[in-house]
Amino acid sequence: DALIIFDDLTKQAWAYRQVSLLLRRPPGREAYPGDVFYLHSRLLERASRVNIAYVEKYTNGKVKNKTGSLTAIPIIETQAGDVSAFVPTNVISITDGQIFLETDLFNSGIRPAINAGLSVSRVGGAAQTKIIKKLGGGIRLSLAQYRELAAFAQFASDLDEITRKQLEKGRRVTEMMKQKQYVPLNVAEI
Residue 2 lies in a domain: yes
For the stretch 141-156, pLDDT in tens is: 888 888 888 888 888 7
- Is residue 190 scored above 70 in pLDDT? no
Q: How many domains does the chain have?
A: 1
Looking at per-residue pLDDT, the higher value among 147 and 9 belongs to: 9
Higher pLDDT, 23 or 49: 23
Q: Judge whether 82 lies within some domain.
A: yes
Q: Is 104 exposed, middle or buried (0-12, 13-18, 19+ CB in 10 A)?
A: exposed
Is 122 an annotated catalytic residue? yes
Mean pLDDT of 158-186: 86
Instruction: Please indicate, yes or no, if residue 118 is contained in any of the structural domains.
Output: no
Lowest mean pLDDT among 13-17, 51-55, 96-100, 137-141: 137-141
**Does residue 112 belong to any structural domain of this protein?**
no
In a domain, 135, yes or no: no
Quick: pLDDT tens for 117-139.
888 888 777 778 888 887 777 78
Q: What is the mean pLDDT of residues 25-30?
A: 92
Q: Is residue 164 part of a domain?
A: no
Would 132 be classed as within a structural domain?
no
Asked, for residue 86, whether it belongs to a domain, the answer is yes
- CA dihedral of residues 13, 16, 17, 19 (deg, nearest 10): 160
Rg of the chain, C-alpha, whole Å: 21
The parent domain of residue 54 ranges over 1-95
Q: How far apart are CA 32 and CA 109, in angstroms?
A: 36
Q: Which of 17, 122, 164, 172 is catalytic?
A: 122
Region 44-62 average pLDDT: 89
Predicted confidence band at 33 (pLDDT cuts at 50, 70, 90)?
Answer: very high
- For the chain, the straight-line distance linking the first and the last C-alpha, in angstroms and rounded, comes to 26
What's the farthest any 2 CA atoms get from each other in the chain?
73
